[in-house]
Amino acid sequence: MGQTQFDLWIARLVPLALEGATLTLGISEDIFRCWLEANYQKLIEETFSGLAGRKCQIKFLTLVAKPQAAASQNAPARPATRPQAKTLKVAVPVNDICDRLNKHYTFDNFVVGGSNQFAQSACLAVANAPGAAYNPLFIHSASGLGKSHLLHSIAWKLAKTRPAAKIDCLTSEEFGNQFHLALSSNALPAFRNHFRNLDALLIDDVQFFVGKKSFQEEIFHTFNNLLSRNRQIVITSDRPPQEIEGLADRLVSRFESGLQAEITIPDEETRLAILLRKQEDSSVKFPSWVLERIASGIRTNVRRLEGALNTLTYSCQVFNNSNPDVSREFVETHLHKIFQEEELHGVTDVGLIQRVVAEFFQLRLSDMTSSLRPANIAYARQIAMFLARKHTSLSLPAIAENFHKQHTTVLYALKAIDKKYQTSAETKRDITQIEKILFQ
């Protein structure tokens, strides 16, 4: 290489360490590091491997100089010398994605229980070996049970362990907005260059793509490109792929080709553990009976669970001088609205749904689980299955078991009623009236 190129790029490097077959070289600025990685890393690796007599790898780190002690005013000026490794401090590389991640959504802050253990284990495996295990990974659950937390946890771990990796973590709505902007500003090549050259793509709430054919077309080709090169993809949704009505079959097929992990409603023990972990960061520490009351009163939504603790903490600080020794009346008064909302939205008993639906259509309760197939009974049974899926976090096999049916029968019922709900005023009216009875 020419002298100019050597002085500009190579002469700036400072050798820091040789560990095994990896030589670490320091460089003063990020822009130089990026250029070296893109243009000279292979050349330096080949040259150094030849000199060392074995295959070696090169790693670049951006350096931060230690502050120098103030020089004496009478001391003669020293000529500038090349900095030595021992006078430098290596900066910890930071991935650009970190600025856009929720700092509270990490694996360390995620409370594991029976309802989410499978999903958490799969996410951790993906974070430790992206592209090698469970690709794509599809996480689904009702709202507020921890999907976004796990998605950001993966991104955090990847960013910390692979600072040079190209990672993007965003909602499907954000992906769609960026695509629309690129389309309207003639920047589609740049958009595709970004997303199709990622090492890991993590998309939240993929059900947003329903009915948006151009978005689905773009994400399909992006997925194909990434998967063909073993780049990691993680997707979340509020339902399994096969239940997302209006999603192209080929996209559903891609989503189903990897691992599906469901998060269900946490049991009371897990909910209590979540509150204890959340309280660690609070200045107010409540007695155990308060946390037990919140855990028993809020069953279906982790986000609402944390909101209740925050509400009570704030109320305590404002009205009770930060005294955690609150009365039961104080707790009930300040959390009354949240507990009431839980009662309105927290139907978890499939038996209750079956009973209300049977009474609404003037059928026997046994008709909900029988093998009888007259049109009126089949329709009512499908309505009950639809409401069980909508208002509980039970999996398809669990719902099927409650109706003494196969999960494929439940899946058919969900699609049939969802279509009727969109096109039939009578079906919409039936469901609305049944829900009023359930939540009264």
**Domains of the chain with bracketed CATH:** 3-64 (3.30.300.180), 98-262 (3.40.50.300), 268-344 (1.10.8.60), 350-439 (1.10.1750.10)
CB 219 within 8 A of CB 209: yes
Select from 282, 391, 291, 297 the least CA-distant residue to 336: 297
The pLDDT mean for the chain works out to 83
Task: Assign 3-class secondary structure to the chain.
Answer: CCHHHHHHHHCCCEEEEEECCEEEEEECCHHHHHHHHHHCHHHHHHHHHHHHCCCCEEEEEEEEECCCCCCCCCCCCCCCCCCCHHHEEECCCCCHHHHHCCCCCCHHHCCCCCCCHHHHHHHHHHHHCCCCCCCCEEEECCCCCCHHHHHHHHHHHHHHHCCCCCEEEEEHHHHHHHHHHHHHCCCHHHHHHHHCCCCEEEEECHHHHCCCHHHHHHHHHHHHHHHHCCCEEEEEECCCHHHCCCCCHHHHHHHHCCEEEECCCCCHHHHHHHHHHHHCCCCCCCCHHHHHHHHHHCCCCHHHHHHHHHHHHHHHHHHCCCCCCCCHHHHHHHHHHHHHHHHHHCCCCHHHHHHHHHHHCCCCHHHHCCCCCCHHHHHHHHHHHHHHHHHCCCCHHHHHHHCCCCHHHHHHHHHHHHHHHHHCHHHHHHHHHHHHHHHC
CB-based burial label for 374 (10 Å; 0-12, 13-18, 19+) = exposed
pLDDT in tens, 230-287: 999 999 998 888 878 788 889 999 999 899 998 887 888 888 888 988 887 777 788 8
What are 210-231's pLDDT values in tens digits? 888 888 999 999 999 999 999 9
pTM, rounded to two decimals: 0.61
Return the pLDDT at 90.
Answer: 44
Grade residue 183 by pLDDT with cuts at 50, 70 and 90.
Answer: confident
Whether 308 and 298 have beta carbons less than 8 Å apart is answered as yes
Please state the φ and ψ torsions of residue 303, each to the nearest 5 degrees.
Answer: -60, -40
> CA 352, CA 358: separation in Å to the nearest integer?
10
113-129: pLDDT as tens digits:
888 999 999 999 999 99
Distance CA 40, CA 42 (A): 6
Integer Cα distance of 246 and 34 in angstroms: 42
**How many angstroms separate the CA atoms of 58 and 23, rounded?**
5
Mean pLDDT value across residues 356-365: 91
Residue 132 burial (C-beta neighbours within 10 Å; 0-12, 13-18, 19+): exposed
Residue 303 has pLDDT above 80, yes or no: yes
pLDDT at 72: 42
| Average pLDDT for 173-187 | 88
Per the listing, tokens 């008709």 go with 367
pLDDT tens string 40-90: 888 899 899 888 888 999 999 988 654 444 444 444 444 444 444 444 444
Predicted pLDDT of residue 24: 93
Q: Please report, for residues 43, 56, 287, 393, the alpha-carbon distance to residue 59 in angstroms, rounded to integers and kept in the order given.
A: 13, 10, 51, 47
Q: Which of the two residues, 140 and 280, has the higher pLDDT score? A: 140
Residue 43 CA to chain centroid, in angstroms? Answer: 39
Lowest model confidence (mean pLDDT) among 16-20, 140-144, 293-297, 412-416: 140-144
* 268-279 and 288-297 helices, crossing angle to 10°: 130
**How many residues does this entry show for the chain?**
440
| Closest of 323, 334, 339, 340 to residue 287, by C-alpha | 323
410, 431 contact by CB (below 8 A): no
Does the pLDDT at position 16 exceed 60?
A: yes
14-19 and 22-27 strand pairing: antiparallel
CA dist., res. 226 & res. 72, Å (int): 59
pLDDT higher than threshold 70 for residue 136: yes
> Would you state the pLDDT for residue 398?
82
- Give the HSE-up count for residue 20: Cα atoms under 13 Å, Cβ half-sphere: 4
Q: What is the pLDDT of residue 352?
A: 83
Q: What is the predicted pLDDT for the residue at 86?
A: 42
Average pLDDT of 379-404? 86
**pLDDT recorded at residue 237:** 92
Q: Rounded mean pLDDT of 376-391?
A: 91
